[in-house]
Amino acid sequence: MLQDIIRSTGSFVANRLLAGIWGPSLAAMILMLPLALGMGLWDRSGLSDGIARIAPPLAFDAAAASDHFDALLTVQIAILGLYFSITLLVLTLAASSLGTRLIERWIARIEIRFTLMQWMALVTLSLMGRFFVAEDVVVPRGLILLDLALTLAALGWLGFGYHRLARTAHVDTSVADIGETLARDRRDWPMCDGPDPTRSPDHVVHATSAGYLGAFDRQSLIDAARDAGAQIALRIPDGEFLNEGDPLAHVWGAGDALDRVILKTCEMTAYRNDHPTGPFGLTLLVELAARALSSGINDHQTAATCVDWIGQGLCGSLRNQMRRDGWLADDDGRARLHVPDSGIIPQWRPYLTVLHRATAPHPFVAGRLMDAYIAARKRARDDRDHADLTDMIGEVAQGALRSATPFERDALTARMTAADIAPAPTGTGVKTG
């Protein structure tokens, strides 16, 4: 029981504080307390007097030291407030046209978090130094010099921070980041045949909270099932919504200890985001592309970039797609974990259909989407995926041909020929071969 409490507390600290925007800032502020205390004690042990002897201009009294700390504190608070305000303003304006979901990933970038951490830590150091100033004690000259040096270093970093802020707010940065992670949770897992995952279980693990099944470490579940001599069959794939109390997993051959591992490993998230990958990242890219093609924005290049990265995600996912009816095996080749997998294309197609409608009036972007599907079809291992992608290429072409110019029609027709799809006799539809 005590071990579970410690583990839960550590998980809360790691996920809510250290991984959040304010976690590193809070940690830096706490670390500044012993640093300021140590420098203050060092000043009293002779460092301050030594500085005054070596550099006579630094032989100021307590009143001047107080003014120095006040000046540094004023500059630090002003820059902290200015940077935070500019950051929120820039990111909000950028997200207003392409979706507010991007604000969370933008403001959590390491450059922004590190800049805020620096200035909050410096404010803490100056406040601590202000308390060390008194008429009847040694003037904390060493602490003032340390505060000044760190402030100058933070000012030097600030230029880079503003440069990275502009780069962060550029939508292509987020599109590329999301696209690169689309297929990272797919890999060539060792698969094997196993028992029917729908058979009656020894017991059922129920979800303790409602939400979307987020990232879960498949290897951790395989190892836990192996150690317990058990088998686990999840009831939903990652990205699906589950109500509180609904079955999360069926288990054979283990007890409550394995249940706790399953609940800990299978994280339920309250809202969709791009972590984990799969449908989360895909919906973001589809949303960005659809917004970019709206009449109010009309940004074809951003939409094309989203389409290119969707194609990359499709290619990677199809290349490493698990067998739909197989079990994930342990090192000894024994069936340990079953994850429902209807296939990449059936899972992604409802979201991609939204993109098909959005690209219909824009043959240029539709052509890029056809290229992505043609490349993905070459990597499809399953005949069903190959057929579905052929149908999807036809859907995109059929919608785009209606609004295409003669030049665009020729380009679309060339892609259809490459995909073994023949135009309909009217020239406005397609026939799949």
Query: Is 181 among the domain residues?
Result: no
Same domain? 216 vs 323: no
Q: Which of 169, 201, 224 is the last residue of a domain?
A: 169
- What local confidence, expressed as pLDDT, does residue 189 receive? 67
Cα separation of 399 and 89, whole Å? 38
Same domain? 235 vs 346: no
Looking at the DSSP bridge assignments, the partners of residue 251 are 203, 232
Same domain? 147 vs 216: no
Local structure of residue 421 (DSSP, 8 states): E
Same domain? 89 vs 142: yes
Cα separation of 292 and 98, whole Å? 7
Secondary structure of 91-127 in HEC code, one letter for each residue:
HHHHHHHHCCHHHHHHHCCHHHHHHHHHHHHHHHHHH
Q: Dig out the tokens for 214 from the structure.
A: 């987020």
Same domain? 253 vs 209: yes
- What local confidence, expressed as pLDDT, does residue 433 receive? 47
Residues 6+ apart with CB under 8 A from 165: 86, 87, 90, 111, 112
For the chain, helix (H) and strand (E) counts, in that order, are 16, 11
Query: Is 86 among the domain residues?
Result: yes
Same domain? 329 vs 208: no
Same domain? 421 vs 323: yes
Query: Is 185 among the domain residues?
Result: no
Same domain? 261 vs 339: no
Q: Which domain holds residue 324?
A: 279-432
Cα separation of 376 and 344, whole Å? 11
Same domain? 7 vs 110: yes
Same domain? 307 vs 411: yes
Bond before 237 cis per omega within 30 degrees: no
Cα separation of 83 and 87, whole Å? 6
Write down the H helix ranges in 229-362.
256-265, 279-292, 300-319, 344-359
Q: Which SS3 state, helix, strand or coil, does residue 197 take? A: coil
- What local confidence, expressed as pLDDT, does residue 173 receive? 76
List phi, psi (to 5°) of 185.
-90, 10
Query: Is 183 among the domain residues?
Result: no
Nearest to 252 by CA among 338, 342, 341, 340: 338
Half-sphere exposure in the Cβ direction for 319 (13 Å, CA): 14
- If one counts the domains in the chain, the total is 3
Query: Is 256 among the domain residues?
Result: yes
Same domain? 139 vs 260: no
Nearest to 263 by CA among 219, 227, 221: 221
Q: Which of 269, 290, 314 is the last residue of a domain?
A: 269
- Spans in the chain with pLDDT lower than 70: 1-21, 94-105, 108, 135-136, 169, 183-189, 215, 271-279, 320-325, 342-343, 423-433
Looking at the DSSP bridge assignments, the partners of residue 191 are 328
CB neighbours of residue 408 within 10 Å: 17
Query: Is 180 among the domain residues?
Result: no
Local structure of residue 327 (DSSP, 8 states): E
Containing 204, the helix (H) or strand (E) segment is strand 203-206
Query: Is 36 among the domain residues?
Result: yes
Nearest-10 crossing angle of helices 110-132, 22-42 = 30
Query: Is 178 among the domain residues?
Result: no
- What local confidence, expressed as pLDDT, does residue 258 receive? 87
Same domain? 285 vs 336: yes
C-alpha triplet 215, 221, 222: angle, nearest 5°: 130
**pTM (2 decimals)?**
0.67
